[in-house]
């Protein structure tokens, strides 16, 4: 038996996993109709991490009622009901759902194309409009490995002007042990939630006065600036120059770039002196103007221009989520202008930079190659050439990738880098987008070796993506216990009594002089209390100083990582932590 055949009916097979979860959504709907016949059915798909079903209910459903639904779902699994597919002509299908009193299903059928096959799946007394596929029996689903995880509001078809529905989420696995492992992982994710840790550690805050507009607090700014210092250091080594472009530019620029036609619903606009302006949702057009500011020769290329640009995008209030989905963020963009001959090597150069920075945080990644979308600019021949170049570059580097058909940017194909954190969750951060269109729209040129004018090719590139979002990602990745080099406070000095206050100040001064970020806790509290507080603040090192340490000129070093205390000279500790910071050890 081949590996593909042996994995055919396991969760390693994505198609089977989605089929399994899709069937679970039907079992959920059947359980709901048994317990609450008055409920109207909307839709119930499988999603990346389970399934959900939307219901129109007379009263809001509470999470306390989920256990009752779960119990009914387990009964349906034990009944081993056969799932039977059948088709109906359009008018008969509409009449069938009207008789069942399911107006949302009627609307879905009416909106289907005229030549669409209209299919249904029946399991026992329950029938649902569905294209499938499904497993062949409810008995295939392990009832003791089903968990309904949440219940919240959702709009019918995502339209805020339509009916508000109740969306119930769930997850299921072939084995109870797999469900238990998944739920443990979810609990760990809650413990690591960056919104919770951001508040506890004093990193950032959100306010009612600015939904989706994060405020960074002093310790959060230390974290952010340390991250950006590292970013700048790497970019300088890789041959980038840094630029800054305005936040507000006139509307004509956004028409010229093509963003207005493709992105205007996400843009904030204003008027200045009677002229229409827009707040930038991305940095690209400003980068085009910087390139166009002076003539260029082939000797200038490749020209790598990086920018930490503050951008604003209109996100729906329901989509806002801590630092992960905000309305303003700093995007670490770069625009690389080059000749066609330089394209492949520049793509590789960007990937090398990605490898260096991601590995510093202990993050691995997978790559997606996103190809030409329906809504695109430019000739298909140019698109295919660009796609082939991206593919060849990463193949020559020995990188694996998957194709994400039709999901490229409107101006060019792209490589998306999905980072995996310590819990195995993935986050799309880095992207490399190859663009032949924007240099054309902005009439960018360089003088070639032949003395004639040529059009450069351009790479759009973001590494961390949104700085704010990346901070959220690494906060959860490290559970707030940042590596020493990145920690807002690296050392906390804890005198045991007032007698060692002067010695503690001397130690602080020496550590601060070598560039370390230190705090002194000289409160008249018991040392155990001070240690516990420093542990909650996730400080990498605590120096506990008593009479014995002062007499010997030593320090008692308590490590966050090991929880152990080791006595050493101050010089030894300074050498140890200095090396840890210098190498950016994790």
Q: Write out the catalytic residue numbers.
A: 284, 313, 331, 333, 335, 414, 460
Tokens 């593909």 -> residue: 4
Tokens of 347: 């793509």
**CA atoms within a 13 Å half-sphere pointing along the CA-CB vector of 38:** 3
Alpha helical stretches, state H, 402-546: 437-441, 467-477, 501-513, 527-536
CA distance 101 to 81: 23
Residue 222: which H helix or E strand, with range? helix 218-237
Instruction: Dump the DSSP string for 92-121.
Output: HHHHHHHHTT-HHHHHHHHTS-TT---EEE
Structure-derived torsion over alpha carbons of residues 420, 422, 424, 430, reported in degrees to the nearest 10 = -10
User: Residue 488 has what DSSP assignment?
Assistant: S
CA distance 361 to 422: 10
CA distance 513 to 204: 28
Buried b (16+ CB within 10 A) or exposed e, 233-245: ebbeeeebeebeb
Beta strands in 124-194 (DSSP E): 126-129, 146-155, 164-172
- Largest Cα span, the chain: 93
CA neighbor of 373 nearest in space, from 405, 403, 415: 405
| Bridge partners, 269 (sequence order) | 278
Give 410's contacts (C-beta < 8 A, 6+ positions apart).
258, 262, 373, 375, 376, 377
Length of the chain, in residues:
586
Beta strand 46-47 with 50-56 is antiparallel
Structure-derived torsion over alpha carbons of residues 178, 179, 181, 187, reported in degrees to the nearest 10 = 160
């Amino acid at each position: 038996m081949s590996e593909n055949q042996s994995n055919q009916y396991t969760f390693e097979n994505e198609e089977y996993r989605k089929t399994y979860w899709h069937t679970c959504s039907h079992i959920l709907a059947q359980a709901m109709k048994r317990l609450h016949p008055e409920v109207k059915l909307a839709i119930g798909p499988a999603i990346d991490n389970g399934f959900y079903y939307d219901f129109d209910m007379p009263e809001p459903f509470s999470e306390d009622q989920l256990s009752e639904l779960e119990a009914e779902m387990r009964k349906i699994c034990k009944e081993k009901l056969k799932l039977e597919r059948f088709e109906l002509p359009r008018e008969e299908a509409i009449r069938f759902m009207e008789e069942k009193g399911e107006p949302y299903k009627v609307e879905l059928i009416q909106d289907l194309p005229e030549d669409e096959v209209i299919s249904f799946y029946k399991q026992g007394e329950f029938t649902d409009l569905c294209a499938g596929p499904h497993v062949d029996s409810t008995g295939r689903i392990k009832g003791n490995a089903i968990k309904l995880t949440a219940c919240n509001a959702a709009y019918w078809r995502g339209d805020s002007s339509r009916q508000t529905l109740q969306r119930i989420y769930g997850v299921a696995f072939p084995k109870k042990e797999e469900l238990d492992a998944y739920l443990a992982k979810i609990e760990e994710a809650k413990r690591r939630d960056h919104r919770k840790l951001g508040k506890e550690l004093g990193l950032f805050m959100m306010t009612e006065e600015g939904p989706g507009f994060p405020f960074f607090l002093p310790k959060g700014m230390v974290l952010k600036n340390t991250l950006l210092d590292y970013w700048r250091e790497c970019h300088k080594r890789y041959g980038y120059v840094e630029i800054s472009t305005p936040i507000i530019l006139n509307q004509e620029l956004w028409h010229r770039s093509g963003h207005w036609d493709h992105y205007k619903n996400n843009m904030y606009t204003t008027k200045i002196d009677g002229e229409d302006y827009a707040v930038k949702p991305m940095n690209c057009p400003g980068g085009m103007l910087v390139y166009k500011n002076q003539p260029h020769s082939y000797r200038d290329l490749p020209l790598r221009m990086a920018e930490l640009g503050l951008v604003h995008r209109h996100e729906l209030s329901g989509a806002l989520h801590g630092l992960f989905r905000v309305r303003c963020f700093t995007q670490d963009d770069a625009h690389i202008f080059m000749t066609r001959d330089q394209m492949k090597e520049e793509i590789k150069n960007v990937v090398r930079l990605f490898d260096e920075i991601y590995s510093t945080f202990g993050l691995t990644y997978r790559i997606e190659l996103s190809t030409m979308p329906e809504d695109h600019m430019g000739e298909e021949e140019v698109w295919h050439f660009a796609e082939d170049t991206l593919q060849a570059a990463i193949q020559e580097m020995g990188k694996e990738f998957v194709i994400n058909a039709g999901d490229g940017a409107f101006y060019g194909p792209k490589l998306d880098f999905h980072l995996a954190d310590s819990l195995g969750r993935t986050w799309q951060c880095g992207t490399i987008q190859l663009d032949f269109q924007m240099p054309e729209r902005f009439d960018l040129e360089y003088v070639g070796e032949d003395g004639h004018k040529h059009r450069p090719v351009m790479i759009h590139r973001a590494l961390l993506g949104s700085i704010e979002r990346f901070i959220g990602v690494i906060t959860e990745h490290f559970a707030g216990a940042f590596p020493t080099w990145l920690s807002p406070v690296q050392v906390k000095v804890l005198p045991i009594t007032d007698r060692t206050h002067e010695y503690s100040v001397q130690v602080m001064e020496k550590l601060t002089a070598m560039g370390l970020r230190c705090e002194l806790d000289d409160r008249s509290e018991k040392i155990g209390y001070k240690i516990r507080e420093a542990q909650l603040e996730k400080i990498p090192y605590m120096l506990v100083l008593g009479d014995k340490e002062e007499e010997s000129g030593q320090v008692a070093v308590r490590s966050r990582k090991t929880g152990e205390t080791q006595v050493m000279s101050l010089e030894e500790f300074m050498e140890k932590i200095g090396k840890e910071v210098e190498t950016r050890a994790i």
